[in-house]
Structure 1
Amino acid sequence: MIGNGDTVVIIDGVYHQAPALRHKEILAAMGRGVRVIGAASIGALRAAELAPFGMLGVGSIYAAYVRGDIDGDDEVAVGQSPDGDWSALTWPVVNLRQALELARQAGVLDGERAAVLLEVLSAVYYPQRTMAAVRAVCLRHDEIEFAEWLARQRARSAHFADLKHADALAAVRTALDGQAPPAVGVRPQVWESVYFRRWSNAFARSRIDGLDLSTTDRLIYQQVFDPEFPRTWSAYLERRSLNPADGGPGLPLETRLAQVTGGDLPAHSVFRPPVDLRDEETVALLLAGETPRDRLAVARYADALALAYRTRPGFSAAAVRDDLTRRTLLQVWRCPERRFDAQAAARGLVCGARAIEEAKRLMPGYLDDVSDKKEAASGAR
């Protein structure tokens, strides 16, 4: 676990097949007192972008981003092995530029020919810029001498012209030498956005009763299936009213509601504060009605959802039918159609449409439960 006073070095990361490392994640870490160093690849790019907030950049690639000599993520992007090896299979533009400059210094190329090669090699899509592709481009442009020279240099050293490798080592040395400046304590306002909370909530997990459970899944299960959850949500609104996130004066919920509406509307239709599932007190309050049986159901529903993703080509929770989910919620809540939005709001789900979107992830497991109960009832007869 990364904590206050630790130093993190960010070098490379995936971004084609997965979301790239977010700025908010780095700002949140620095806000907790973590020193963050970036170099070589996405580390250099993020350091150039977040230097005003205290992230330390190291190396020539970082410096080039800061000066504006380079400005795209394609400069450092490489294709990687699909089997989890993470080895780079292609050449990034920053390394090609360095190789061409070394060739120019060695008299293998002149400046004009090096510029032409850089342009055509940069135009090759990054996952296709293998060593074989580089050689083919060179031969197509009659640069046989350079292609052979480059092959000889790489035979002598696997890291020839590898700026990313050199910068990564420099960043690690900086961290080990203790040269990273103290964390600057980024203000929460910089990174505490609705998008960051959504991301952090998605990764909130806990291990309880031997089960590794998503806190988001646990909360949604209670919002959908606990008949007493509207009271729990009212208690949460009261707590937020007494302890505003912006540090303003705390007021009883009834008083705050009277100030805003005159008291003629229910609190859940007026106040819709975000939920931070990193906060232990919030989680304890919202899951106060959870039982061991509920947690087993959450684990079962998560397994059913994962199985659907694995076995149904093209499946996604978002693709679960709206009308099926809506009918299920109306049945579970024993709610007339006209009260659907109000019931969803009372459970902290904002509105009926939002409730449907949130509940979809529970549907494969719920339908399995319904099917199992029908089979059990049929067998009993």
Structure 2
Amino acid sequence: MKERLKEKNRPVRVGVTHGDFNGISYEIMIKALMDNRLYEMFTPVIYGLPRVIGYHRKQLRLTDLNYHVISNSSKIIDRKLNILSLSDEEIKIEFGKSTPLAGQFAYQALETAVKDIKNKKIDVLVTAPINKENIHSQDFSFQGHTEYLTNRFQVEDSLMLMVSDSLRVGTVTNHLPVKEVAQNITEEKLLSKLNILHESLKKDFLIERPKIAVLGLNPHAGDNGVIGTEDETIIHSTLIKVKKQGMLVFGPFAADGFFGSGKYTQFDAVLAMYHDQGLIPFKLLAENGGVNYTAGLPIVRTSPDHGTAYDIAGKNLASPASMRQAVYLAINIFRNRRQWEAMHAHPLSEQS
């Protein structure tokens, strides 16, 4: 009982996996976490390489950046910047290059952090960008973080949800070739994604009656069957069923007009059919402050909404805005879930 109370009262522990060290991950992690005042609100734990963070500290001339190197999560010091060391060896950094070594350590960081969050050593997970090619191995055969975490936490489905201050966009299909998208838009998948999105908006964002807009698959949402039938036979018919369950869903909307007219501001979230349909307008509207959140998991995981940015790696040009927002969002969702659980565990407490 005492341990549980102590765990509840401690600052939120934010585990941050270092991603591909040949990209901008260390630069954005350091820039996002270098203000010591933040540690009163949460405890950051970077799963990474002390020698690499030391190199960046020197390159960025951050003489006031202090951190505590630990060998495992039992040694985390709250209200300090912790670096959980994956290796003490000298590491060759090759900015802008995809190397097998970077992929191996990216995977090692993920596996270690997942083990720790399962054992409640950390509370939330923030993942820095990986290279989907060099991380691939016999152990990691997934298309990205979302698919990997869905598998590791043994849930049937999850939802890639892009989040900013003014917009939330989920996708029915994630990292698929365009030629395979249409065949993967099914009633079963739509129902699954809509249910995950609806539940997440209620529990993770505390929106009691969320309004969800659903985009069409084809240009002009099919134009009544002239430009494809999927919008009418699959998407529209599925939305009718969902509405009968009491969910506030609307559409399918033609994607270009929906975003171009600003209609997205009338909804709590948008469900796009495929990756670029949702992420291109999202990134334009969110600018540097977007976050990738994996809804539907038993744990909270966020990530910056950008990749490794090899082209600017090592040049001190990377913005930490998305990484910073990823940390803040993870903490907010973690607290929202606690609040939601408390409210529903004691339904009469609201009336007292």
TM norm structure 1:
0.22
Bigger radius of gyration: 1
TM norm structure 2:
0.23
More strand by share: 2
